[in-house]
């Protein structure tokens, strides 16, 4: 399960970096074609926002998977303890 969480993080982070680089590249190209330097600033902001959203989404999914795993372990432990308590009472 931990390997899967790490893989999800890596996939989302890789995709986020690709979005960032492509966004910055196209912002630069559009600014050169239109001769408008403000496009670079706006494109950079949009690219960074997309990067942050994708990175955050990957971290959120990995954290949710980790919490789910911990809750399942806690549930199993509580069930085991309850079974032991039932056997001791008998």
CA proximity to 16, closest of 48, 41, 64? 48
Give the C-alpha distances (Å, rounded to integers) separating 37 from 20, 30, 33, 65: 18, 9, 10, 43
pTM over 0.95: no
Domain that residue 72 falls in: 2-89
Q: Rounded CA gap, 86 and 68, in Å? A: 27
**Are 71 and 1 contacting, i.e. CB atoms less than 8 angstroms apart?**
no
Helix or strand (DSSP H, E) at 64: helix 38-89
Number of domains composing the chain? 1
pLDDT in tens, 18-75: 998 998 888 888 888 877 777 788 888 888 998 999 989 988 888 888 888 888 888 8
């Amino acid at each position: 399960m931990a390997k899967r969480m790490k893989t999800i993080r890596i996939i989302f982070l890789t995709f986020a970096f690709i979005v960032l680089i492509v966004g910055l590249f196209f912002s630069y190209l559009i600014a050169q074609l239109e001769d408008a330097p403000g496009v670079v600033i706006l494109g950079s902001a949009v690219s960074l926002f997309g990067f942050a959203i994708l990175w955050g989404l990957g971290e959120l999914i990995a954290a949710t998977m980790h919490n789910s795993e911990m809750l399942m372990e806690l549930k199993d432990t509580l069930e085991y303890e309850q079974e032991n308590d039932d056997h001791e009472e008998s």
